[in-house]
Amino acid sequence: MTMTERPQATAPPSGRGRGRSARAGGLLAAAAALLAVLVLSLAVGARPLSVPEAWAGLMDRNADSYTIVHEMRLPRTLLGLLAGTALGLAGGVLQSLTRNPLADPGILGINAGASAAVVSAISFLGITSFAGFVWFAFAGAGVVAVLLYAVGGGRGATPARLALAGSALNAALYSYVSAVQILDTAALDQMRFWVVGSLAAAQPSTVVRVAPFVLAGTALALLLARPLNAMAMGEDAARALGARPERAKGVAIVSVTLLCGAATAACGPIVFVGLMVPHVVKALTGPDMRWMLPYCAVLSPAVMLAADVIGRVVVRPSELQVGVVMVVLGGPLFLYVVRRPGGLGSRRRPTGEAA
């Protein structure tokens, strides 16, 4: 080494690595929060259990709490886990696909489409089991998802246009549901708790039947992370990066239909989960769908189960359905998203999209 040569300075560590570590740590924290809410869901109810009692009821057939945990609270908790994951992921996919901050399966009418189809199956065909009417839920959710994307997902669409289209469909479909309930008094009792969204009637058989559909929809949603990232820059740019926008849209619609159809058939139409959680997650992770979707899959069931626990506590010895609690929690966030500057009516033109 000559006198004029100096050792090269070591480059500072990349911020990307630190950001990845922070996101991974946040995901672990979210998983810990979900675990805590799962424990609360098993312990809290008309007969409160301590954590040791809940654990004994889960693991020991001879425990006094075994029947309470296994026949009542465990199916309810698992169904909330599946439905929360489904609705949160569906909301995240919809918001990215439509570039609309108000895209939520409940607000846009997808859950209403599934509800209308299920109510029709119950009232007109006498189908009363999940195995029977889940296929109607898929059909109703799928038709509305395709209609919404055709109306509001193409070029020139604004969040306002999509939100208005969804609101119109929501109003029409729920009016139909109400009319069927009024005219068919025999089916009214069966549908009245289902229609407001509830986990209270969860059965082990329902959990077993809904799980494959939610798992399939979840796998498809997670596979969409990279294509959705590319499509955020515009379809032309996405094609230049090797993505296939049309195929991604088709997979997204199938995923949302599976997730929303299964969750709605099992629990009824529950709104705002798919709106609240993606907004919170985006503030934590940014718009990268490779992180946003896994966060949604973990935090959404935590929110759903927390709302269910709140509903069991606030009006003891009775309880509020989880759908009612989610409306109370999600309504203020919806108003905030609508009223914030540039929130509803604006639409940024992504790079590569034609003027």
pLDDT digits (tens, 9 = 90+) for 219-275: 999 999 999 999 888 778 888 878 888 888 889 889 999 999 999 888 888 888 988
In angstroms, the Cα distances linking 336 to 11, 213, 242, 346, 351 are: 43, 33, 37, 15, 27
Q: What is the pLDDT of residue 140?
A: 92
pLDDT number for residue 341: 59
Percent of the chain with pLDDT over 90: 38
Taking only the tens place, the pLDDT of each residue in 269-280 is: 888 898 889 988
Tokens for 142, please give them. Answer: 């799928």
| Percentage, residues of the chain above pLDDT 70 | 85
C-alpha 284/C-alpha 223 separation (Å) is: 21
| pLDDT tens per residue across span 156-169 | 456 667 777 778 88
**CATH topology classification for 94-339:** ABC transporter involved in vitamin B12 uptake, BtuC (1.10.3470)
Residue 300, pLDDT above cutoff 80: yes
Task: Map out the domains of the chain as residue ranges.
Answer: 94-339
Tens digit of each residue's pLDDT (9 = 90 or more) over 122-160: 888 888 777 788 899 999 998 988 887 776 555 545 666
- d(Cα 334, Cα 77) in Å, to the nearest integer? 26
Cα–Cα distance between 228 and 226 in angstroms, integer? 5
Q: Please give the average per-residue pLDDT across 328-352, as a whole number.
A: 62
Q: What is the average pLDDT score of the chain? A: 83
